[in-house]
A and B are shown apart, each in its own frame.
Chain A
Amino acid sequence: MSYVPNTPAEIKEMLGVIGIKSGRIEDLFKCIPPELRAKSFDLPAGKSEFEAEKYLRGLGKKNVTDLIYFVGGGFYDHYIPAAVDAIVSRSEFYTAYTPYQPEASQGTLQAIYEYQSCIARLTGMDVANASLYDGGTALYEAAMMALRITGRNKIIMDGGVNPIYRKMMYCYTSNLSIDFVETPVTHGQSDRKEIEKCIDDKTAAVILQNPNFFGAIDDHSDISEKCHKVGALMIESVYPIALGLLKTPREMGADITTGEGQSLGIPLSFGGPYLGFMATKKEFVRKMPGRIVGVTVDKKDRRGFVLTLQTREQHIRREKATSNICSNEALCALRALVYLSLIGKDGLKEVASLSRDKAEFAKAKLGEIKGVEVKRSSPTFNEFIVKLPKNPNEVIGKLIDKGIAAGFPLGRYYPDLDDYMLVAVTEKRTKHEIIMLADALEDALWS
Protein backbone atom coordinates (compact mmCIF):
# COMPACT_ATOMS: atom_id res chain seq x y z
CA MET A 1 0.00 0.00 0.00
CA SER A 2 1.52 3.27 -1.01
CA TYR A 3 1.12 6.31 1.17
CA VAL A 4 0.74 9.50 -0.83
CA PRO A 5 0.22 12.53 1.35
CA ASN A 6 -2.01 15.33 0.20
CA THR A 7 -0.32 18.17 -1.66
CA PRO A 8 -0.76 21.74 -0.34
CA ALA A 9 -3.01 22.48 -3.33
CA GLU A 10 -5.25 19.50 -2.54
CA ILE A 11 -5.43 20.44 1.12
CA LYS A 12 -6.51 23.97 0.19
CA GLU A 13 -9.13 22.61 -2.19
CA MET A 14 -10.57 20.24 0.42
CA LEU A 15 -10.67 22.94 3.09
CA GLY A 16 -12.42 25.21 0.61
CA VAL A 17 -15.15 22.61 0.04
CA ILE A 18 -15.92 22.31 3.76
CA GLY A 19 -15.86 26.07 4.23
CA ILE A 20 -12.52 26.74 5.96
CA LYS A 21 -11.77 29.94 4.09
CA SER A 22 -8.41 30.60 5.71
CA GLY A 23 -7.02 27.46 4.09
CA ARG A 24 -5.30 26.55 7.37
CA ILE A 25 -5.72 23.03 8.75
CA GLU A 26 -5.27 24.39 12.29
CA ASP A 27 -8.61 26.17 11.94
CA LEU A 28 -10.34 22.78 11.85
CA PHE A 29 -9.41 22.34 15.51
CA LYS A 30 -10.66 25.71 16.73
CA CYS A 31 -13.41 24.08 18.78
CA ILE A 32 -10.77 22.40 20.98
CA PRO A 33 -9.57 24.70 23.79
CA PRO A 34 -6.14 26.10 22.82
CA GLU A 35 -4.40 24.66 25.89
CA LEU A 36 -5.39 21.15 24.81
CA ARG A 37 -4.22 21.63 21.23
CA ALA A 38 -0.77 20.73 19.94
CA LYS A 39 1.34 23.85 19.95
CA SER A 40 2.63 23.24 16.48
CA PHE A 41 2.47 20.75 13.66
CA ASP A 42 5.63 22.15 12.10
CA LEU A 43 8.07 19.33 11.57
CA PRO A 44 11.69 19.73 10.56
CA ALA A 45 12.68 18.89 6.98
CA GLY A 46 12.96 15.22 6.11
CA LYS A 47 16.16 13.27 6.59
CA SER A 48 17.78 10.67 4.37
CA GLU A 49 17.85 7.06 5.58
CA PHE A 50 21.49 7.44 6.52
CA GLU A 51 20.87 10.67 8.44
CA ALA A 52 17.80 9.27 10.19
CA GLU A 53 19.66 6.15 11.30
CA LYS A 54 22.55 8.20 12.67
CA TYR A 55 20.13 10.46 14.53
CA LEU A 56 18.18 7.56 16.01
CA ARG A 57 21.34 5.75 17.08
CA GLY A 58 22.39 8.91 18.88
CA LEU A 59 19.06 8.96 20.71
CA GLY A 60 19.41 5.26 21.52
CA LYS A 61 22.80 5.87 23.15
CA LYS A 62 21.10 8.04 25.74
CA ASN A 63 19.31 4.98 27.08
CA VAL A 64 20.88 3.18 29.99
CA THR A 65 20.01 -0.51 29.90
CA ASP A 66 22.68 -2.01 32.12
CA LEU A 67 21.75 -0.55 35.51
CA ILE A 68 21.88 -2.83 38.51
CA TYR A 69 18.22 -2.81 39.24
CA PHE A 70 16.52 -2.62 42.64
CA VAL A 71 13.34 -0.85 41.52
CA GLY A 72 10.07 -2.75 41.81
CA GLY A 73 6.70 -1.24 42.60
CA GLY A 74 4.80 -3.84 40.64
CA PHE A 75 7.28 -4.46 37.82
CA TYR A 76 10.33 -6.63 38.35
CA ASP A 77 13.65 -7.45 36.75
CA HIS A 78 13.45 -11.25 36.58
CA TYR A 79 15.57 -13.34 34.25
CA ILE A 80 14.06 -14.20 30.87
CA PRO A 81 15.37 -17.44 29.35
CA ALA A 82 16.46 -17.11 25.70
CA ALA A 83 13.90 -19.71 24.65
CA VAL A 84 11.10 -17.23 25.42
CA ASP A 85 12.27 -14.85 22.69
CA ALA A 86 13.08 -17.70 20.32
CA ILE A 87 9.60 -19.19 20.52
CA VAL A 88 7.55 -16.00 20.47
CA SER A 89 9.60 -14.70 17.55
CA ARG A 90 8.24 -17.44 15.29
CA SER A 91 6.23 -15.59 12.67
CA GLU A 92 3.16 -17.83 13.23
CA PHE A 93 2.88 -16.32 16.68
CA TYR A 94 4.53 -12.98 16.14
CA THR A 95 2.21 -11.73 13.44
CA ALA A 96 -1.04 -13.10 14.76
CA TYR A 97 -3.15 -10.67 16.71
CA THR A 98 -6.27 -11.71 18.60
CA PRO A 99 -7.90 -14.31 16.34
CA TYR A 100 -10.74 -12.85 14.31
CA GLN A 101 -11.34 -16.05 12.44
CA PRO A 102 -10.59 -18.00 15.57
CA GLU A 103 -11.26 -21.59 14.68
CA ALA A 104 -8.94 -21.31 11.67
CA SER A 105 -6.11 -20.40 14.06
CA GLN A 106 -5.87 -23.58 16.10
CA GLY A 107 -2.25 -22.91 17.11
CA THR A 108 -3.02 -19.47 18.50
CA LEU A 109 -6.09 -20.79 20.28
CA GLN A 110 -4.15 -23.67 21.78
CA ALA A 111 -1.47 -21.28 23.08
CA ILE A 112 -4.17 -19.14 24.72
CA TYR A 113 -5.87 -22.22 26.15
CA GLU A 114 -2.61 -23.45 27.67
CA TYR A 115 -1.93 -19.95 29.03
CA GLN A 116 -5.37 -19.92 30.70
CA SER A 117 -4.62 -23.33 32.23
CA CYS A 118 -1.29 -22.06 33.60
CA ILE A 119 -2.89 -18.98 35.18
CA ALA A 120 -5.70 -21.08 36.66
CA ARG A 121 -3.18 -23.49 38.19
CA LEU A 122 -0.93 -20.71 39.43
CA THR A 123 -3.78 -18.93 41.22
CA GLY A 124 -5.73 -22.05 42.19
CA MET A 125 -8.85 -20.66 40.53
CA ASP A 126 -11.26 -22.54 38.22
CA VAL A 127 -11.01 -20.39 35.11
CA ALA A 128 -8.79 -17.69 33.64
CA ASN A 129 -9.51 -15.48 30.65
CA ALA A 130 -7.34 -15.06 27.56
CA SER A 131 -5.55 -12.04 29.19
CA LEU A 132 -6.09 -8.31 29.60
CA TYR A 133 -3.88 -5.28 28.99
CA ASP A 134 -2.04 -5.00 32.30
CA GLY A 135 -2.34 -5.41 36.04
CA GLY A 136 -4.16 -2.11 36.51
CA THR A 137 -6.81 -2.56 33.85
CA ALA A 138 -7.30 -6.16 35.00
CA LEU A 139 -8.05 -4.89 38.51
CA TYR A 140 -10.53 -2.36 37.10
CA GLU A 141 -12.25 -5.13 35.14
CA ALA A 142 -12.44 -7.22 38.32
CA ALA A 143 -14.13 -4.34 40.15
CA MET A 144 -16.68 -3.95 37.35
CA MET A 145 -17.27 -7.68 37.43
CA ALA A 146 -17.99 -7.54 41.17
CA LEU A 147 -20.54 -4.79 40.58
CA ARG A 148 -22.26 -6.94 37.93
CA ILE A 149 -22.29 -10.04 40.12
CA THR A 150 -23.55 -8.42 43.31
CA GLY A 151 -25.72 -5.64 41.89
CA ARG A 152 -24.15 -3.35 44.54
CA ASN A 153 -21.98 -0.28 44.07
CA LYS A 154 -19.60 0.10 46.99
CA ILE A 155 -15.96 -0.89 46.64
CA ILE A 156 -13.50 -0.99 49.51
CA MET A 157 -9.92 -0.62 48.37
CA ASP A 158 -6.93 -1.34 50.57
CA GLY A 159 -4.31 1.42 50.75
CA GLY A 160 -1.67 -1.20 49.97
CA VAL A 161 -2.99 -1.68 46.45
CA ASN A 162 -0.49 -0.34 43.91
CA PRO A 163 -1.15 3.44 43.71
CA ILE A 164 -0.83 3.28 39.92
CA TYR A 165 -3.65 0.73 39.81
CA ARG A 166 -5.77 2.89 42.11
CA LYS A 167 -5.23 5.90 39.88
CA MET A 168 -6.25 3.86 36.85
CA MET A 169 -9.32 2.60 38.68
CA TYR A 170 -10.51 6.12 39.48
CA CYS A 171 -9.79 7.30 35.96
CA TYR A 172 -11.72 4.44 34.33
CA THR A 173 -14.69 4.80 36.66
CA SER A 174 -14.79 8.60 36.89
CA ASN A 175 -18.14 8.77 35.09
CA LEU A 176 -19.79 5.98 37.10
CA SER A 177 -21.37 6.46 40.47
CA ILE A 178 -19.31 4.00 42.46
CA ASP A 179 -18.89 4.49 46.17
CA PHE A 180 -15.13 3.97 46.73
CA VAL A 181 -13.73 3.69 50.23
CA GLU A 182 -9.98 3.47 50.83
CA THR A 183 -8.70 1.84 53.98
CA PRO A 184 -5.23 2.69 55.30
CA VAL A 185 -2.33 0.32 55.70
CA THR A 186 -0.87 -0.05 59.16
CA HIS A 187 2.32 -1.92 60.02
CA GLY A 188 2.62 -2.84 56.38
CA GLN A 189 -0.51 -5.02 56.23
CA SER A 190 -4.22 -4.58 55.55
CA ASP A 191 -5.98 -2.88 58.46
CA ARG A 192 -8.58 -5.42 59.63
CA LYS A 193 -10.37 -3.01 61.94
CA GLU A 194 -10.82 -0.38 59.23
CA ILE A 195 -12.02 -2.91 56.67
CA GLU A 196 -14.45 -4.38 59.15
CA LYS A 197 -15.79 -0.90 59.89
CA CYS A 198 -16.48 -0.19 56.22
CA ILE A 199 -17.79 -3.53 55.02
CA ASP A 200 -21.58 -3.86 54.90
CA ASP A 201 -24.41 -5.33 52.87
CA LYS A 202 -23.94 -2.64 50.21
CA THR A 203 -20.34 -3.68 49.58
CA ALA A 204 -19.71 -5.30 46.20
CA ALA A 205 -16.07 -6.11 46.84
CA VAL A 206 -12.99 -5.59 48.96
CA ILE A 207 -9.88 -5.14 46.83
CA LEU A 208 -6.57 -6.27 48.30
CA GLN A 209 -3.06 -6.83 47.03
CA ASN A 210 -0.59 -9.53 48.03
CA PRO A 211 2.24 -8.75 48.52
CA ASN A 212 1.07 -5.17 48.86
CA PHE A 213 2.83 -2.11 47.45
CA PHE A 214 5.16 -2.04 50.47
CA GLY A 215 6.18 -5.64 49.85
CA ALA A 216 4.30 -6.96 52.89
CA ILE A 217 2.81 -10.42 52.59
CA ASP A 218 -0.48 -11.19 54.22
CA ASP A 219 -2.98 -14.02 54.61
CA HIS A 220 -6.31 -12.52 53.63
CA SER A 221 -8.39 -15.60 54.55
CA ASP A 222 -10.05 -13.80 57.47
CA ILE A 223 -11.04 -10.88 55.24
CA SER A 224 -12.59 -13.14 52.60
CA GLU A 225 -14.67 -14.78 55.33
CA LYS A 226 -16.00 -11.38 56.37
CA CYS A 227 -16.75 -10.51 52.74
CA HIS A 228 -18.70 -13.68 52.17
CA LYS A 229 -20.76 -13.19 55.33
CA VAL A 230 -22.28 -10.01 53.86
CA GLY A 231 -22.43 -11.26 50.27
CA ALA A 232 -19.44 -9.23 49.08
CA LEU A 233 -16.61 -10.56 46.95
CA MET A 234 -12.91 -10.50 47.69
CA ILE A 235 -10.67 -9.40 44.84
CA GLU A 236 -6.96 -10.01 45.24
CA SER A 237 -4.28 -8.59 43.00
CA VAL A 238 -1.20 -10.81 43.15
CA TYR A 239 2.44 -10.95 42.08
CA PRO A 240 2.65 -14.19 40.09
CA ILE A 241 6.25 -15.04 41.02
CA ALA A 242 5.36 -14.80 44.72
CA LEU A 243 2.79 -17.56 44.18
CA GLY A 244 5.73 -19.95 43.97
CA LEU A 245 5.91 -19.65 47.76
CA LEU A 246 2.71 -18.05 49.05
CA LYS A 247 -0.81 -19.36 49.59
CA THR A 248 -2.84 -19.00 46.41
CA PRO A 249 -5.70 -16.50 46.14
CA ARG A 250 -8.11 -19.47 46.06
CA GLU A 251 -6.68 -20.78 49.33
CA MET A 252 -7.34 -17.35 50.86
CA GLY A 253 -10.92 -17.38 49.61
CA ALA A 254 -10.59 -14.85 46.79
CA ASP A 255 -13.49 -14.72 44.32
CA ILE A 256 -11.59 -12.92 41.60
CA THR A 257 -7.84 -12.61 41.26
CA THR A 258 -5.86 -10.42 38.90
CA GLY A 259 -2.28 -9.38 38.48
CA GLU A 260 0.50 -7.94 36.41
CA GLY A 261 2.09 -10.70 34.33
CA GLN A 262 5.22 -8.73 33.38
CA SER A 263 7.39 -10.82 35.72
CA LEU A 264 6.57 -13.91 33.68
CA GLY A 265 9.09 -13.53 30.86
CA ILE A 266 8.18 -10.02 29.72
CA PRO A 267 10.93 -7.38 29.64
CA LEU A 268 10.52 -4.14 31.61
CA SER A 269 11.09 -2.17 28.37
CA PHE A 270 10.18 1.34 29.52
CA GLY A 271 6.71 0.45 30.76
CA GLY A 272 5.15 -1.96 28.34
CA PRO A 273 3.56 -3.74 26.65
CA TYR A 274 2.70 -5.76 29.73
CA LEU A 275 0.12 -8.39 30.57
CA GLY A 276 -2.95 -8.41 32.76
CA PHE A 277 -4.23 -11.74 33.99
CA MET A 278 -7.56 -12.60 35.58
CA ALA A 279 -8.98 -15.76 37.09
CA THR A 280 -12.17 -16.53 38.96
CA LYS A 281 -14.53 -19.21 40.20
CA LYS A 282 -16.53 -21.22 37.69
CA GLU A 283 -19.83 -19.76 38.89
CA PHE A 284 -18.72 -16.29 37.73
CA VAL A 285 -17.39 -17.27 34.31
CA ARG A 286 -20.26 -15.58 32.45
CA LYS A 287 -19.58 -12.31 34.25
CA MET A 288 -15.88 -12.37 33.39
CA PRO A 289 -14.71 -9.88 30.75
CA GLY A 290 -12.63 -10.70 27.72
CA ARG A 291 -12.14 -13.75 25.62
CA ILE A 292 -12.00 -17.34 26.75
CA VAL A 293 -10.70 -20.25 24.74
CA GLY A 294 -12.33 -23.61 25.32
CA VAL A 295 -11.53 -27.12 24.22
CA THR A 296 -14.00 -29.39 22.46
CA VAL A 297 -14.13 -32.25 19.97
CA ASP A 298 -15.13 -32.15 16.32
CA LYS A 299 -17.44 -34.55 14.45
CA LYS A 300 -14.65 -37.11 14.27
CA ASP A 301 -13.89 -36.82 17.99
CA ARG A 302 -10.65 -34.95 17.42
CA ARG A 303 -9.62 -32.36 19.99
CA GLY A 304 -10.05 -28.76 18.87
CA PHE A 305 -10.07 -25.26 20.34
CA VAL A 306 -12.79 -22.64 20.11
CA LEU A 307 -13.45 -19.14 21.33
CA THR A 308 -16.18 -19.79 23.81
CA LEU A 309 -18.80 -17.52 25.43
CA GLN A 310 -18.36 -14.97 22.62
CA THR A 311 -22.01 -14.05 22.87
CA ARG A 312 -21.19 -11.81 25.84
CA GLU A 313 -18.75 -9.78 23.81
CA GLN A 314 -19.01 -6.42 22.16
CA HIS A 315 -19.24 -7.53 18.54
CA ILE A 316 -22.41 -9.50 19.33
CA ARG A 317 -23.88 -7.91 22.40
CA ARG A 318 -23.00 -4.31 21.55
CA GLU A 319 -23.62 -1.88 24.42
CA LYS A 320 -24.78 -4.73 26.66
CA ALA A 321 -21.45 -6.55 26.42
CA THR A 322 -19.79 -7.70 29.66
CA SER A 323 -16.93 -5.28 29.00
CA ASN A 324 -15.58 -3.08 26.25
CA ILE A 325 -12.63 -5.45 26.06
CA CYS A 326 -12.91 -7.43 22.86
CA SER A 327 -9.32 -8.38 22.58
CA ASN A 328 -6.46 -9.87 24.50
CA GLU A 329 -2.72 -9.46 24.99
CA ALA A 330 -1.84 -12.56 23.01
CA LEU A 331 1.89 -12.18 22.45
CA CYS A 332 2.63 -11.20 26.05
CA ALA A 333 0.39 -14.02 27.25
CA LEU A 334 2.40 -16.38 25.07
CA ARG A 335 5.61 -15.13 26.68
CA ALA A 336 4.13 -15.87 30.09
CA LEU A 337 3.09 -19.34 28.92
CA VAL A 338 6.53 -20.16 27.51
CA TYR A 339 8.21 -18.79 30.65
CA LEU A 340 6.03 -20.81 33.02
CA SER A 341 6.37 -23.95 30.91
CA LEU A 342 10.16 -23.60 30.85
CA ILE A 343 10.75 -23.01 34.54
CA GLY A 344 7.98 -25.34 35.73
CA LYS A 345 6.58 -25.72 39.20
CA ASP A 346 9.92 -26.29 40.91
CA GLY A 347 11.61 -23.54 38.90
CA LEU A 348 8.98 -21.04 39.96
CA LYS A 349 9.49 -22.02 43.57
CA GLU A 350 13.23 -21.56 43.13
CA VAL A 351 12.91 -18.13 41.50
CA ALA A 352 10.59 -17.09 44.32
CA SER A 353 12.84 -18.47 47.09
CA LEU A 354 15.98 -16.89 45.64
CA SER A 355 14.25 -13.52 45.29
CA ARG A 356 12.97 -13.68 48.84
CA ASP A 357 16.29 -14.87 50.36
CA LYS A 358 18.32 -12.25 48.53
CA ALA A 359 15.88 -9.56 49.65
CA GLU A 360 16.45 -10.71 53.26
CA PHE A 361 20.21 -10.44 52.69
CA ALA A 362 19.72 -6.92 51.29
CA LYS A 363 17.61 -6.02 54.33
CA ALA A 364 20.46 -7.11 56.60
CA LYS A 365 23.12 -5.25 54.61
CA LEU A 366 21.15 -2.00 54.31
CA GLY A 367 20.17 -2.21 57.96
CA GLU A 368 23.87 -2.04 58.93
CA ILE A 369 24.20 1.46 57.44
CA LYS A 370 24.13 4.30 59.95
CA GLY A 371 20.81 6.15 59.86
CA VAL A 372 19.08 3.65 57.57
CA GLU A 373 16.06 1.99 59.10
CA VAL A 374 14.69 -1.19 57.53
CA LYS A 375 10.98 -1.60 58.32
CA ARG A 376 10.38 -5.01 59.82
CA SER A 377 6.84 -4.77 61.16
CA SER A 378 5.52 -7.43 58.77
CA PRO A 379 7.00 -10.25 56.70
CA THR A 380 7.88 -9.34 53.13
CA PHE A 381 8.46 -11.22 49.90
CA ASN A 382 11.17 -9.65 47.71
CA GLU A 383 10.49 -6.00 48.37
CA PHE A 384 10.73 -3.86 51.49
CA ILE A 385 10.82 -0.26 52.61
CA VAL A 386 13.71 1.61 54.16
CA LYS A 387 13.74 4.99 55.88
CA LEU A 388 16.64 7.18 54.81
CA PRO A 389 18.22 10.05 56.75
CA LYS A 390 18.42 12.07 53.51
CA ASN A 391 15.91 12.80 50.72
CA PRO A 392 15.45 9.56 48.75
CA ASN A 393 15.15 11.39 45.42
CA GLU A 394 18.63 12.85 45.83
CA VAL A 395 20.10 9.60 47.07
CA ILE A 396 18.59 7.65 44.18
CA GLY A 397 19.96 10.23 41.74
CA LYS A 398 23.49 9.84 43.17
CA LEU A 399 23.35 6.06 42.87
CA ILE A 400 22.12 6.18 39.26
CA ASP A 401 25.42 7.88 38.44
CA LYS A 402 27.16 4.80 39.81
CA GLY A 403 25.08 2.48 37.65
CA ILE A 404 22.68 1.42 40.41
CA ALA A 405 18.91 1.97 40.35
CA ALA A 406 18.54 1.84 44.13
CA GLY A 407 14.78 1.90 44.59
CA PHE A 408 11.53 3.77 44.26
CA PRO A 409 10.90 6.96 46.29
CA LEU A 410 7.60 6.34 48.12
CA GLY A 411 6.94 10.06 48.59
CA ARG A 412 5.84 10.18 44.98
CA TYR A 413 2.60 8.41 45.90
CA TYR A 414 2.47 8.64 49.69
CA PRO A 415 3.18 12.21 50.85
CA ASP A 416 3.64 11.10 54.48
CA LEU A 417 6.33 8.62 53.42
CA ASP A 418 8.69 11.21 51.95
CA ASP A 419 11.72 9.70 53.70
CA TYR A 420 11.06 6.18 52.48
CA MET A 421 12.39 4.18 49.58
CA LEU A 422 11.02 0.89 48.24
CA VAL A 423 13.72 -1.67 47.41
CA ALA A 424 13.11 -4.80 45.32
CA VAL A 425 15.45 -7.74 44.86
CA THR A 426 15.07 -10.50 42.28
CA GLU A 427 16.96 -13.74 41.68
CA LYS A 428 19.15 -11.83 39.18
CA ARG A 429 20.87 -9.76 41.86
CA THR A 430 24.12 -11.24 43.09
CA LYS A 431 25.59 -11.04 46.57
CA HIS A 432 28.26 -8.78 45.12
CA GLU A 433 25.67 -6.42 43.61
CA ILE A 434 23.76 -6.20 46.90
CA ILE A 435 26.96 -5.33 48.74
CA MET A 436 27.68 -2.73 46.02
CA LEU A 437 24.26 -1.21 46.66
CA ALA A 438 24.91 -1.04 50.40
CA ASP A 439 28.37 0.50 49.93
CA ALA A 440 27.14 3.04 47.38
CA LEU A 441 24.22 3.97 49.62
CA GLU A 442 26.51 4.49 52.61
CA ASP A 443 28.77 6.65 50.44
CA ALA A 444 25.86 8.73 49.18
CA LEU A 445 24.61 9.30 52.70
CA TRP A 446 27.77 9.94 54.63
CA SER A 447 30.70 11.01 52.45
Chain B
Amino acid sequence: MIPTGLKYTKDHEWIKLEGKEAVVGITDHAQSALGDITFIELPQIGRSVKQSETISTVESVKAASDIYSPASGKVTAVNKGLADAPEVINKSPYDNGWIYRLSVDDAKELDKLMDAMAYQKYLKEQEA
Protein backbone atom coordinates (compact mmCIF):
# COMPACT_ATOMS: atom_id res chain seq x y z
CA MET B 1 0.00 0.00 0.00
CA ILE B 2 1.16 3.47 -0.80
CA PRO B 3 0.90 5.63 2.35
CA THR B 4 -1.44 8.59 2.16
CA GLY B 5 -0.39 11.96 3.51
CA LEU B 6 2.88 11.89 1.55
CA LYS B 7 3.66 13.47 -1.80
CA TYR B 8 5.37 11.58 -4.61
CA THR B 9 7.65 12.44 -7.56
CA LYS B 10 7.87 10.80 -10.95
CA ASP B 11 11.39 9.71 -10.00
CA HIS B 12 9.94 7.75 -7.06
CA GLU B 13 10.92 9.91 -4.12
CA TRP B 14 8.43 10.67 -1.34
CA ILE B 15 8.23 13.77 0.82
CA LYS B 16 6.31 14.29 4.02
CA LEU B 17 5.67 17.81 5.24
CA GLU B 18 5.94 18.29 9.03
CA GLY B 19 5.41 21.97 9.74
CA LYS B 20 8.16 23.94 7.98
CA GLU B 21 10.33 20.88 7.62
CA ALA B 22 9.92 17.82 5.46
CA VAL B 23 11.25 14.26 5.42
CA VAL B 24 12.40 12.65 2.16
CA GLY B 25 12.91 9.05 1.12
CA ILE B 26 12.44 6.72 -1.82
CA THR B 27 9.29 4.71 -2.45
CA ASP B 28 8.73 0.99 -2.00
CA HIS B 29 8.57 0.69 -5.78
CA ALA B 30 11.98 2.38 -6.08
CA GLN B 31 13.66 0.13 -3.52
CA SER B 32 12.27 -3.02 -5.09
CA ALA B 33 13.33 -1.91 -8.59
CA LEU B 34 16.86 -1.18 -7.35
CA GLY B 35 17.27 -4.48 -5.51
CA ASP B 36 19.62 -4.89 -2.54
CA ILE B 37 20.90 -1.46 -1.64
CA THR B 38 24.60 -1.50 -0.76
CA PHE B 39 25.48 2.14 -0.31
CA ILE B 40 24.00 5.58 -0.03
CA GLU B 41 25.87 8.83 -0.45
CA LEU B 42 24.11 11.01 2.12
CA PRO B 43 23.62 14.72 1.42
CA GLN B 44 25.65 17.30 3.34
CA ILE B 45 23.82 18.95 6.20
CA GLY B 46 23.37 22.63 5.48
CA ARG B 47 23.37 22.18 1.73
CA SER B 48 20.84 24.24 -0.20
CA VAL B 49 19.04 22.38 -2.91
CA LYS B 50 16.51 23.25 -5.60
CA GLN B 51 13.48 21.15 -6.45
CA SER B 52 14.46 18.30 -8.83
CA GLU B 53 18.18 18.82 -8.25
CA THR B 54 20.36 15.74 -7.58
CA ILE B 55 20.90 15.48 -3.84
CA SER B 56 22.15 11.97 -3.21
CA THR B 57 23.10 8.73 -4.92
CA VAL B 58 21.85 5.34 -3.95
CA GLU B 59 23.76 2.28 -5.07
CA SER B 60 22.44 -1.25 -5.29
CA VAL B 61 23.86 -4.46 -6.64
CA LYS B 62 22.28 -3.56 -9.98
CA ALA B 63 22.68 0.18 -10.40
CA ALA B 64 23.65 3.52 -8.95
CA SER B 65 20.76 5.99 -9.14
CA ASP B 66 20.46 9.62 -8.32
CA ILE B 67 17.92 10.92 -5.85
CA TYR B 68 16.31 14.21 -6.83
CA SER B 69 15.08 16.54 -4.13
CA PRO B 70 11.25 16.74 -4.21
CA ALA B 71 11.39 20.30 -2.87
CA SER B 72 13.72 23.30 -2.60
CA GLY B 73 15.25 24.02 0.78
CA LYS B 74 18.16 23.45 3.11
CA VAL B 75 19.19 20.02 4.42
CA THR B 76 18.75 19.97 8.21
CA ALA B 77 19.41 16.31 9.03
CA VAL B 78 20.40 13.04 7.40
CA ASN B 79 19.69 9.47 8.42
CA LYS B 80 23.22 8.61 9.56
CA GLY B 81 22.29 5.02 10.35
CA LEU B 82 22.03 4.34 6.61
CA ALA B 83 25.80 4.76 6.20
CA ASP B 84 26.37 1.42 7.93
CA ALA B 85 23.00 -0.18 7.18
CA PRO B 86 21.74 1.02 3.78
CA GLU B 87 19.57 -2.12 3.56
CA VAL B 88 17.15 -0.41 5.95
CA ILE B 89 15.86 1.42 2.86
CA ASN B 90 14.85 -1.97 1.42
CA LYS B 91 13.19 -3.06 4.63
CA SER B 92 11.42 0.15 5.59
CA PRO B 93 11.38 2.66 2.74
CA TYR B 94 8.67 4.91 4.20
CA ASP B 95 9.75 4.83 7.82
CA ASN B 96 13.20 3.89 9.19
CA GLY B 97 14.63 4.24 5.69
CA TRP B 98 14.08 8.01 5.47
CA ILE B 99 17.08 9.74 3.86
CA TYR B 100 17.14 13.41 4.83
CA ARG B 101 15.13 16.27 6.32
CA LEU B 102 15.02 19.71 4.86
CA SER B 103 13.56 23.09 5.77
CA VAL B 104 11.19 23.75 2.89
CA ASP B 105 11.50 27.10 1.10
CA ASP B 106 8.02 27.08 -0.35
CA ALA B 107 5.43 24.48 0.59
CA LYS B 108 3.47 25.37 -2.55
CA GLU B 109 6.11 23.56 -4.60
CA LEU B 110 4.67 20.33 -3.25
CA ASP B 111 1.41 20.99 -5.05
CA LYS B 112 3.16 19.96 -8.26
CA LEU B 113 3.78 16.49 -6.84
CA MET B 114 1.43 13.50 -6.83
CA ASP B 115 -0.62 12.26 -3.89
CA ALA B 116 -0.88 8.56 -3.08
CA MET B 117 -3.79 7.96 -5.48
CA ALA B 118 -2.10 9.76 -8.36
CA TYR B 119 1.18 7.96 -7.70
CA GLN B 120 -0.54 4.56 -7.70
CA LYS B 121 -2.14 5.43 -11.03
CA TYR B 122 1.24 6.63 -12.33
CA LEU B 123 2.85 3.30 -11.37
CA LYS B 124 0.10 1.39 -13.17
CA GLU B 125 0.63 3.49 -16.28
CA GLN B 126 4.36 2.82 -16.07
CA GLU B 127 3.77 -0.91 -15.90
CA ALA B 128 1.39 -0.86 -18.86
Q: What is the CB-to-nearest-CB distance from A267 to chain B, in angstroms, rounded to a whole number?
A: 38
B85: chain A residues at CB < 8 Å are none
Contact A311 B62 (CB under 8 A): yes
Jot down 13 A-B pairs with beta carbons below 8 A, ordered by A: A311-B59, A311-B60, A311-B62, A311-B63, A311-B64, A312-B59, A312-B64, A316-B62, A316-B63, A317-B63, A317-B64, A320-B64, A320-B66
B61: chain A residues at CB < 8 Å are 311
Q: Is B119 an interface residue (CB 8 A)?
A: no
What CA separation (Å) do A92 and B77 show in the bound complex? 52
How many B residues touch A, CB cutoff 8 Å?
9
Query: Hey, which bits of chain A sit against chain B, CB under 8 A?
Result: 286, 311-312, 316-317, 320
Task: From the candidates A286, A317, A320, name the one contacting B41 in the complex (CB within 8 A).
Answer: A286
> How many cross-chain pairs have Cβ atoms below 8 Å apart between A and B?
18
Q: What is the CB-to-nearest-CB distance from A283 to chain B, in angstroms, rounded to a whole number?
A: 11
A312: chain B residues at CB < 8 Å are 59, 64
B47 (CB) vs chain A CBs: closest residue? A151
The 4 tightest CB contacts between A and B, nearest first, are A311-B64, A311-B59, A311-B63, A317-B64
What CA separation (Å) do A320 and B68 show in the bound complex? 14
B66 (CB) vs chain A CBs: closest residue? A320
B59: chain A residues at CB < 8 Å are 286, 311-312
Q: What is the CB-to-nearest-CB distance from A272 to chain B, in angstroms, rounded to a whole number?
A: 32
Query: Hey, which bits of chain B sit against chain A, CB under 8 A?
Result: 39, 41, 59-64, 66
Q: What is the CB-to-nearest-CB distance from A403 to chain B, in angstroms, rounded to a whole number?
A: 56
Main secondary structure of the interface of B (DSSP, over half): strand
B39: chain A residues at CB < 8 Å are 286
Q: What is the CB-to-nearest-CB distance from A419 to chain B, in angstroms, rounded to a whole number?
A: 52
A286: chain B residues at CB < 8 Å are 39, 41, 59
What CA separation (Å) do A214 and B39 show in the bound complex? 43
Q: What is the CB-to-nearest-CB distance from A328 to chain B, in angstroms, rounded to a whole number?
A: 19
B64: chain A residues at CB < 8 Å are 311-312, 316-317, 320
Interface hub of A286, A311, A316, A317 (most chain B Cβ within 10 A) = A311
Q: What is the CB-to-nearest-CB distance from B8 to chain A, in angstroms, rounded to a whole number?
A: 23
A287 (CB) vs chain B CBs: closest residue? B41
B60: chain A residues at CB < 8 Å are 311
What CA separation (Å) do A311 and B57 show in the bound complex? 11
Q: What is the CB-to-nearest-CB distance from B89 to chain A, in angstroms, rounded to a whole number?
A: 15
What CA separation (Å) do A166 and B88 show in the bound complex? 45
What CA separation (Å) do A286 and B63 show in the bound complex? 13
Q: What is the CB-to-nearest-CB distance from A296 to chain B, in angstroms, rounded to a whole number?
A: 12
What CA separation (Å) do A55 and B64 show in the bound complex? 54
A316: chain B residues at CB < 8 Å are 62-64
Interface hub of B60, B61, B62, B64 (most chain A Cβ within 10 A) = B64
What CA separation (Å) do A286 and B42 show in the bound complex? 13
B62: chain A residues at CB < 8 Å are 311, 316
A311: chain B residues at CB < 8 Å are 59-64
Q: What is the CB-to-nearest-CB distance from B113 to chain A, in angstroms, rounded to a whole number?
A: 24
A313 (CB) vs chain B CBs: closest residue? B64
Q: What is the CB-to-nearest-CB distance from A5 to chain B, in angstroms, rounded to a whole number?
A: 43
